[in-house]
Structure 1
Amino acid sequence: MDTRPLGPRIPLFASGALFLSGFSGAALAPTLPALYLWFALGGAGVGIVYDIAVNTPSRWFDERRGMATGAVSMAFSGTSFVLIPFIRRGVDAAFVPTLSVLAVATGGSSLVAAGILRDPAIPEPERARASGGDAATGSAITWRTMVRTRRFWFLYAVFVVVNGVGLMVIEKVVAYANRLGLSPTAATTAAALVALGQATGVLVLGSLSDRLGRERTLIVSLVFCGGALAATVVAGQSTLDWAFVLLAGVTMFFRSPSFAIMPGLVGEYYGEKYSSENYAVLLTAKLWGGIFGGTVTSVLVLRLGWSTTFLMAAGLALGAGIAALWTLRTR
């Protein structure tokens, strides 16, 4: 029996409208508060598209969820890495035309996707793993039930750590390298390897999770992320420029797989029927991770110092991996 829900089409139409209005409004905004408002609308479109983009492939490729989600996540970060320098130059040279092009490109692609993307049929009763985690429930679970399980809140905490640590490294690795007295070339290369490590890790280890199991891969990646970040600090304090650069990239390589693994885990634990909205709730952890990676770490750097702050972040990642070993059942 085909129990296919409405699927991604309506949200994608909405995201197209948000992109068009957000970027077009930002191009013509007469005041700074108005600019913030229009960019917020465009950002809402980004959130909708990202949630759909990482969940829809995992529904179609249920035996290769990690690879499918990892490929989309890599495209998301990799395309941003490639296009941002051109967008910056365009904004500096011609602000209004650049944002107008973005409005048409993003809004148009969302509208095209809305006409193409659909969800596969879901057989009933759908097999979903235990809420809380021990036995199959026999039916899909909505976010209202999901948030009452301990397993969800553990995944949420892990996602806060993953986002916080990753955003800290992305935002502050160059400043940290400069503070350590490393060469400008090393600092710039570290930023490039951070982006490269993030893009490749999400695909390589996401694909590997299809073979090794999602829980096991998540645990290993968190432990290695924490270890690599601690080693980055040691290399920096020892003024080993290129070891610092390489280890910063390795840190992000092992940090990024969570973005390929988490959507699959949500679908397996709580069912596919509501996986997009369930993952959207989990994705709100990025807000708190962003606060930690930006504001909180800035305060910690001022009060405790750069190296201590980075070592604390390494401890959080390592602790999350050890906690996952006890909390999530490995395959």
Structure 2
Amino acid sequence: MARPSRRWLLVGVAAVLMGTAGSYQFVWSSISGAVGARFPGISGPALGTVFTLFVAAQTLAQLPAGRIRDRYGPRNVLLVAAACLFVGYAGVGVATSFPVVAVAYTLGGVGAGIAYTVAVNTPVKWIPEDGRRGLATGLVTMAYSGTSVLFIPLLRGSIDDAFTTTLVALGGVVGVGGLLGAWLVRDPDRVGRDRPSEDGDQADDSDAPAESDAVESTGDGDAETPFDDGVGWRTAIGTWQFWVLYAVLVVVNGVGLMLVGQSVSFATGLGLSATVATTVASSIALADGAGVLIVSGLSDRFGGERTAGVSLVVCGCALAGSVVAGARGLAVPFVALVGCAAFFRSPVFGIFPTLVADYYGAARSSENYAAVYTAKIPGGVVGGTVAGALVVALGWSRSFLLGAALLVAAGVAALLLRPVSPDDDDAGPSAREAVGDD
């Protein structure tokens, strides 16, 4: 049986790994200007396309990486991630043409996606449901944005004067983070099941949790679920729970990216000052990280469905309140309410990985959550293209009020979630009978 101290050490390593993945998303705004200056004539939309390619690569890499990790362990996929994480930044640093920049950053996205899916699913494999699993997942997820707070000031101070050196060094740092994960992160051996140990020998259960500490939760304590042994994504998508989780993530990503990407324009569009606009952008970044840690931890006590649902309802109400405050020129309430919306939006990313493990088994949690996480792609379309069109057609206030209403609806949907039951007709015959066959 693995000691609790070792389990939490693995959570800490997963948080470091998650930070390397998140750096690509959060530092792009700090290096894109320098990339544009290095290649004169490159338009803003072209730079935006690089980021879009990153998001697509980061999202789509997770499903195959998750499937491999669940079957053979995290070591090999993390070695690939470490190489891609290094090549991403270093390739941009030494690029002699803009297409090379796009390819390199896309490869960085592949590495970030692999690192993300391994990191976010490590707590659900090692921490029992009654052992603060929600807190552990929230801690790892918080690192996705929180670690970039360290990188961004360093980049801004050196990127213009030492472009190549800075990016190659950053690539080295995140590459080492990936190697650290490959060296230390392990999964509990599934003794007697279909995966051999990573050394190729018969699985050794010396580091596996004891049966009393099993991480494959039944979702509601004593109630049995049909997926305790773990099923893959093909079975998961046959349940209505999967599609509710997916739809909620589309809304959370879409409205969230609209808020993150348009917060400055939102504030100025409501007639608030540039100082207020800058302040609200900072409040979003701080509140996002704090919310995923604090509120995700509450799910250990109140349950994932209830915590996520209430959190999103409060998020929607706060966002609506910010529109009202901003329209009346109330700067302080506006900033506070936008920060509140960000605080209560982010916990979903710490709670949903645990719900996926509860519903479909921790043994295949990486691939199943990766399938749910593909909601980031349509969410990105909503938060970017659709949001821009809405602002033109409806104006700032109505567009964000619509986003607030969608968040409330997503919260209500999350409250209606429940674990898949063996006699749940909504799961469908194929979902109940396909345990372990995919």
- Normalised by the shorter chain, which TM-score bucket? over 0.9
* Matching residue of 1:52: 118
Deviations 1:119-169 (A, max 9, x none): 123467885659xx9943442111111122221111011011111111111
Give the SS at the match of 1:163: helix
The match for 2:240 among 150, 154, 160 is 150
Quickly say closer, same or farther: Cα 1:137–1:54, change in 2 above 3 A.
Answer: closer
CA contact (8 A) 1:128 1:136 kept: no
CA contact (8 A) 2:225 2:359 kept: no
1:114 aligns with 2:175: no
Distance (whole Å) between structure 2 residues aligned to residue 86 and residue 303 of structure 1: 40
Distance (whole Å) between structure 2 residues aligned to residue 124 and residue 233 of structure 1: 56
Deviation at 1:29, TM superposition (A): 1.6
* Matching residue of 2:390: 300
Give the SS at the match of 1:273: helix
Distance (whole Å) between structure 2 residues aligned to residue 26 and residue 99 of structure 1: 7
Distance (whole Å) between structure 1 residues aligned to residue 161 and residue 147 of structure 2: 21
Distance (whole Å) between structure 2 residues aligned to residue 209 and residue 326 of structure 1: 16
* Matching residue of 1:228: 318
Q: Which runs of 5+ in 1 are unaligned?
A: none
Matches within 5 A, 1:145-224: 145-224=235-314
Matches within 5 A, 1:307-322: 307-322=397-412
Quickly say closer, same or farther: Cα 1:15–1:137, change in 2 above 3 A.
Answer: closer
Question: Relative to structure 2, which stretch is displaced further, 74-83 or 264-273?
Answer: 74-83
* Letter matched to residue 114 of structure 2: I
Distance (whole Å) between structure 1 residues aligned to residue 397 and residue 226 of structure 2: 45
Deviation at 1:196, TM superposition (A): 1.1
**How many residues get paired?**
327
Deviations 1:90-145 (A, max 9, x none): 22222111110111111111112201110123467885659xx9943442111111
Matches within 5 A, 1:1-331: 5-62=71-128, 63-122=131-190, 129=218, 135-328=225-418
Deviation at 1:80, TM superposition (A): 1.4
Q: RMSD of the alignment, in Å?
A: 2.3
Distance (whole Å) between structure 2 residues aligned to residue 293 and residue 183 of structure 1: 24
Quickly say closer, same or farther: Cα 1:172–1:77, change in 2 above 3 A.
Answer: same
* Letter matched to residue 43 of structure 1: G
CA contact (8 A) 1:81 1:195 kept: no
Deviation at 1:230, TM superposition (A): 0.4
Q: Percent identity?
A: 48
Give the SS at the match of 1:92: coil
Q: TM-score w.r.t. structure 1 length?
A: 0.93
Question: Relative to structure 2, which stretch is displaced further, 245-254 or 273-282?
Answer: 273-282
Q: Which runs of 5+ in 2 are unaligned?
A: 3-69, 194-213, 420-438
* Letter matched to residue 187 of structure 1: A
* Letter matched to residue 185 of structure 2: L
Deviation at 1:232, TM superposition (A): 0.6
Q: TM-score w.r.t. structure 2 length?
A: 0.71
Quickly say closer, same or farther: Cα 1:22–1:83, change in 2 above 3 A.
Answer: closer
Quickly say closer, same or farther: Cα 1:114–1:231, change in 2 above 3 A.
Answer: same
* Letter matched to residue 19 of structure 1: L
Quickly say closer, same or farther: Cα 1:43–1:90, change in 2 above 3 A.
Answer: farther
CA contact (8 A) 1:223 1:318 kept: yes
CA contact (8 A) 1:219 1:322 kept: yes
Distance (whole Å) between structure 2 residues aligned to residue 13 and residue 116 of structure 1: 12
